[in-house]
């Protein structure tokens, strides 16, 4: 979609020249699932064009691209998705679906989404590079011989030793005569290549590598019976694949024996003390392509007399992701956060850290986002899982500010408000060459950045100029605000409101929207034609008029 800048000045009549309005009323303003590299925290460097993703689940029929199509993709670091306007959705009637991401060079991931309103959300998931693993992770590749009947010809083992960055070792033992079978139950013969990735929970990078969210719902046991969900606090997990001659191993006629070491300093969330021999730990598995986990059983933590380390022994009956940890029950009354923004301001995103006030261990909920778009009233973000225990926790914002200390279950935590400050309002016009116009829905994101910062800042992970969805690079980043529709002279127009302090006299600014015309997604930029002058700030804003060379109609 090519753009032609028409004007950037303050108009006397902002609705003058409006013809047919192409309203984006088929779908809601898009939500975003940010997709990042677990090690670098940046968008995937190898994705230079849109990469398709798939979705499944009961809510999938209601989910569309922002261009009202069923084709979703990762574009510049995010999967954007919308709901049909009028979709019946509420906290008691949520829309649930799973986003399946499988791109070359990364482990696949299945990320569950739950929507409880038509308002856009911001979520985040991380992928693990096959060649550049995050901290507290390691990989082993081993070739295992099988005969024409699919049975292993020798006893073998796959061993991943401990290291300074990953203190826990892993050993998987495979007996001679173990038959390897594909998904149809047919033997897999020849030289089987086993790829094993081991992760522990000792770093933020490793925790970001977890292949789903830590919210476990729609759980079943090994016999297929439904069991209560909760929040999973992992001690470690392994991702195992085996392939030969284009066929993938799925099951075995007898289980593999795996010994996963457990960090002796890790806190058992049920006892609030360090893990010790005799503690019980849950064992879960998850197959590729689904987000739901299966509770395979419970293992007893033992002390290995040879190594002096704690470990859990699990029996691997099929290939998937296997994890050990503890499933903590849901709190019966949800934890809520309140956050107040000035009307029209964009999102206020801050990482929330939940930390045990005695052990100082972080709770898995740590990656939550607070996002608010309308200062007309208090917005709340409700978490799906908090510990049910009576222990005291600290709620920390931005890594330093303690916003709350106390019990979590059923609490309403006021995270404060953005201080009131003078603002400016820009009118946003997306016009087509045929004279019609595009009207974006409320809450549609508009990004902006100082043009000098944009031109001079390179993301070292992607080797590109900073994108709107990049993390902060050398103190430079994009900010965002939200479309608010207003009616003037009986006509509705798009506006954005942003703090006046974000605009510096003498500087140019770049504004950007991600736009989907129903055929493809693109990023459309507008650069102010001249540096900001005091008159614009005194006038309270300016018009941004963009001509779209390609339009939906």
With b for 16 or more beta-carbon neighbours within 10 A and e for fewer, the 116-149 pattern comes to: bebbbbbbbbbbbbeeebbbbbbeeebebebeee
Q: Is the pLDDT of residue 507 over 70?
A: yes
548 token code pair: 């779209």
Q: Which residue has the higher pLDDT, 197 or 360?
A: 197
Kindly report, residue by residue over 526-548, the tens digit of the pLDDT.
Answer: 888 889 999 888 888 888 777 76
pLDDT at 201: 85
Q: What tens digit of pLDDT does each residue of 267-280 get?
A: 888 887 899 999 99
7 three-class SS? strand
Q: How far apart are CA 528 and CA 426, in angstroms?
A: 12
Cβ(440)–Cβ(429) under 8 Å? no
Mean pLDDT confidence for 114-142: 90
Q: Give the largest Cα separation in the chain, rounded.
A: 84
Question: Which of 303, 323, 356, 128 has the alpha carbon at shortest distance from 234?
Answer: 323
* Global confidence as pTM: 0.82
Sheet holding 379-382, edge to edge: 379-382, 336-340, 412-417
Distances (CA, A) of 54 to 47, 111, 236: 16, 11, 28
**Which token pair is 445?**
């994101």
Domain positions in the chain: 3-23+422-548, 137-329
Residue with tokens 């798009």: 494
Above pLDDT 90, what percent of the chain?
A: 42
CATH of 137-329, picked from 2.60.220, 1.10.10, 2.40.160, 2.60.40, is: 2.60.220
pLDDT at 221 (0 to 100) = 93
Two structure tokens written together for 523: 């990023």
Tokens encoding 259: 């010994």
Higher pLDDT, 6 or 137: 137
If one counts every other C-beta atom within 10 angstroms of the C-beta of residue 52, the result is 12
Residues 6+ apart with CB under 8 A from 468: 76, 447, 449, 478, 480, 512, 514, 523
Rounded CA Rg of the chain: 26
Task: Please report the pLDDT score of residue 386 as a whole number.
Answer: 60
Strands 170-174 and 156-160: antiparallel
Contact 10, 553 (CB under 8 A): no
């Amino acid at each position: 979609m090519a753009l032609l800048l028409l004007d950037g000045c303050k108009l006397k009549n902002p609705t003058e020249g409006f013809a047919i309005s192409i309203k984006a009323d088929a779908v809601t303003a898009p939500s975003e699932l940010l997709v990042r590299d677990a090690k670098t925290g940046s968008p995937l460097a190898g994705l230079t064009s849109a990469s398709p993703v798939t979705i499944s689940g009961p809510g999938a029929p209601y989910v569309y691209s922002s261009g009202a199509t069923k084709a979703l993709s990762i574009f510049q670091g995010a999967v954007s998705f919308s709901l049909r306007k009028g979709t019946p959705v509420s906290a008691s009637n949520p829309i649930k679906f799973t986003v399946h991401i499988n791109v070359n060079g990364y482990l696949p991931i299945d990320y569950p989404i739950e929507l409880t309103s038509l308002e856009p959300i911001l979520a985040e998931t991380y992928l693990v590079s096959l060649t550049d693993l995050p901290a507290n992770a390691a990989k082993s590749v081993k070739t295992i011989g099988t005969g024409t009947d699919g049975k292993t010809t020798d006893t073998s083992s796959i061993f991943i030793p401990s290291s300074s960055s990953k203190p826990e070792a892993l050993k998987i033992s495979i007996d001679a005569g173990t038959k390897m079978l594909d998904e149809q139950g047919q033997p897999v013969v020849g030289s089987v290549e086993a790829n094993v990735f081991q992760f522990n929970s000792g770093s933020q990078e490793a925790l970001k590598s977890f292949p789903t969210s830590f919210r476990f719902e729609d759980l079943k046991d090994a016999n297929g019976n439904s069991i209560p969900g909760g929040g999973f606090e992992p001690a470690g997990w392994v991702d195992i694949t085996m392939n030969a001659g284009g066929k993938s191993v799925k099951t075995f006629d007898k289980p593999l024996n795996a010994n996963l070491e457990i960090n002796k300093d890790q806190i058992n969330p049920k006892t609030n003390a360090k893990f010790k021999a005799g503690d019980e730990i849950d064992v879960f598995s998850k197959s590729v392509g689904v987000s739901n986990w299966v509770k395979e059983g419970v293992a007893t933590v033992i002390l290995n007399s040879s190594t002096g380390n704690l470990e859990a022994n699990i029996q691997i009956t099929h290939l998937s992701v296997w994890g050990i940890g503890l499933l903590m029950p849901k709190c019966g009354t949800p934890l809520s956060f309140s956050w107040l923004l000035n009307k029209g301001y964009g999102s206020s995103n801050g990482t929330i850290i939940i930390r045990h006030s005695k052990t100082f261990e972080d709770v898995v909920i740590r990656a939550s986002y607070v996002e608010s778009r309308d200062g007309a009233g208090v917005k709340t973000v409700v978490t799906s899982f908090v510990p049910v225990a009576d222990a005291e926790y600290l709620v920390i914002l931005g890594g330093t500010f303690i916003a709350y200390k106390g019990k979590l279950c059923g609490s309403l935590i006021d995270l404060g408000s953005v201080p009131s400050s003078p603002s400016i309002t820009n009118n946003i016009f997306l016009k087509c060459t045929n004279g019609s116009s595009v009207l974006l829905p409320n809450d549609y994101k508009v990004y902006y950045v100082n043009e000098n910062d944009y031109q001079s800042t390179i993301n070292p992970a992607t080797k590109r100029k900073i994108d709107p969805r990049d993390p902060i690079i050398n103190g430079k980043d994009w900010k965002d605000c939200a479309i608010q529709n207003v009616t003037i002279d009986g006509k509705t127009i798009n506006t954005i409101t942003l703090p006046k302090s974000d605009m510096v006299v003498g500087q140019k600014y770049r504004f950007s929207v991600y736009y989907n015309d129903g055929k493809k997604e693109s990023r459309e930029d507008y650069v102010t034609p001249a540096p900001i002058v005091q008159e614009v700030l005194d006038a309270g804003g300016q018009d941004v008029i963009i001509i779209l060379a390609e339009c939906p109609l």
